[in-house]
Structure 1
Amino acid sequence: MPRLVGRAKRLPMPDVLRELDLAPRHLSLFAQLQYDGPLTVGELAERLEVAPTTVSLMVADLSRRGVLHRREDDADRRRRIVEIAPHMAAAVEGWLGASARAWDTALSGLTADQRHTVVQALRDYEHALEPDHPGPS
């Protein structure tokens, strides 16, 4: 696991993104949009496991900087769809695309049940890192 995380951290960030002084939370937001395409603020909040207001603030900040684009949802004008700005798509793909392809390669030979087991193991690992986690039973 440390090798996996270390290798992912060494993925070179394109200069155009490095200049924006992004925080780690932005990586997760970009990854969701890169892997799954345009999403609503609510969908992003659910996937990132943070409050919708937190996502709204991040999206507003990155939209002002021209990294993200917000548009009305044609099906419901009250909702906003968030996507990577077209002129930034290549930079984000260059940064995160290798990671997405690596996951696709690693999981492609597994059955749905096996993929579920891998994802659950990673979630359990993440949960075990929580400060209030009691440890093994």
Structure 2
Amino acid sequence: MAATDSSDRLGFLLSFRGELTGARIRAALGVAGLHPRNAMTLMQLAPGAMSQRDLAAALEIDPSQLVAVLNDLESAGLAERRRDPADRRRHIVEMTQAGAAALERVDAAVGEAERELFANLTAEEQDVLRRLLDRVVVDRGDHDCG
């Protein structure tokens, strides 16, 4: 069997670059003391309040995982949950002013990290990369991972 150059293996290359990129983004998120999932939650809440169920769907995470994220964000004063007056069974989630300030710091730090990460790509190449990554199948739901 012939040895394969790791750079020929697209999955390996994407995984390796992904780990390096993830480390860079996590370091940028450290500016606001946020875990990536917490930052993504704040980003999702930036346009305005939304139901907890809709937020879980938008983030593509299990509602029980979202509860833990929201507990962290509420403890830090970055988001708050309240009962929906129209339906007391629903929770509405909203970013606080402190959350908005943290998100501004995150946005600036992540923006700088992205400028460094993608400095060798033109704006057009970045758009192509974004479209290609959107097409990569990560979880088809038809396999057993463990």
- Maintained 8 Å contact 1:73/1:80: yes
Match of 2:60 in 1: 49
- Maintained 8 Å contact 2:52/2:93: yes
- Maintained 8 Å contact 1:14/1:91: no
Residue ranges of structure 1 left out of the alignment (5+ in a row): 100-117
Match of 1:9 in 2: 25
Match of 2:102 in 1: 91
> In the aligned structure 2, how far is the partner of 1:132 from the partner of 1:53?
19
Residue 30, structure 1, aligned to residue 42, structure 2: yes
Residue 79, structure 1, aligned to residue 90, structure 2: yes
* Structure whose alpha-carbon radius of gyration is higher: 2
Deviation at 1:91, TM superposition (A): 2.9
- 1:83-126 C-alpha deviation (Å, 9 max, x unpaired): 11123323313433796xxxxxxxxxxxxxxxxxx98744313x
What's the C-alpha RMSD, in Å, of the aligned pairs? 3.8
Residue ranges of structure 2 left out of the alignment (5+ in a row): 1-13, 112-128
Q: Specify the SS of the correspondent of 1:81.
A: strand
TM-score (norm 1): 0.57
Q: Specify the SS of the correspondent of 2:77.
A: coil
> In the aligned structure 1, how far is the partner of 2:85 from the partner of 2:132?
38
Question: Kindly, what percent of the aligned residue pairs are identical?
Answer: 30
Q: 1:31 to 1:87 in 2, by over 3 A?
A: closer
